[in-house]
Amino acid sequence: MKVFGTGFGRTGTMSLKIALEKLGLGPCYHMTEIVLRPSHIKKWYSISIGNKPEWDQLFNNFNSGVDYPVCLFYKELSRKYPDAKFILTMRDFDAWYKSTKNTVYTVPIMLPNWFQKLILPLKRLITMQDNLIWSGLFKDNFSDRKSVQIIYNKHIEDLKKTIPSDRLLLYSVNEGWEPLCKFLSVDRPENISFPKVNSTNAILRKFAIIKTIPYLLILSIITILYFFL
């Protein structure tokens, strides 16, 4: 592994993932990669209940990693991969908190419990996120803005103390290619705009579609029963 993003989700991690891949440092591991791989959901669930991570298995065929839950393990990853560089994606706290509260924080209650229990990988995914992020990182207190801000700022300060300055870039995706390419010692892509994706509105549109899935399932079952029984 060559690069790790250490910023929390909703600090531009998807934009950074795409940027790293355009710079030849992909594939880049991200929560979206976990969601697509039931075997990875199972591995992260195991980690979330206290089992030792198998990093080489998780990151097989990947060259970089960003977003939750990878960003929570930067201390261990800095020892495991001593040549890797680390990028802390930073965002104004108020903007980050509002975006997180309106989007990924709602994931555990987005789908009804009966549907989560029916789809085991989904249940494991949500439980893993709760164990590592909402209960683990934010101590079941994400609704308390002040306590979250303390954790947010502490993460930044701990990173500065843990990762040597020559291995760590403090970075906002609004800065574009220049500081990123300089830090990674790669050429800036020609005629390619820096990716800006995953806005709050875009995520909410996706969530609106996801919320319909359980009811579409019920409708499909009723239709099948009506025509074939």
Report the C-alpha gap between 34 and 125 in whole angstroms.
9
pLDDT tens sequence across 27-40? 999 999 999 999 99
pLDDT tens sequence across 173-186? 999 999 999 999 99
- pLDDT class of 225 with cuts at 50, 70, 90: low
- pLDDT class of 25 with cuts at 50, 70, 90: very high
* 145 CB-side CA count, 13 A: 8
pLDDT tens sequence across 95-115? 999 999 999 999 888 888 888
**In CATH, 3-196 is 3.40.50.720:** no
Token look-up 């990716």 returns 195
Q: Are strands 85-89 and 64-65 parallel, antiparallel or unpaired?
A: unpaired
pLDDT value of position 213: 81
The residue extents of the domains of the chain are 3-196
For residues 131-140, average pLDDT? 98
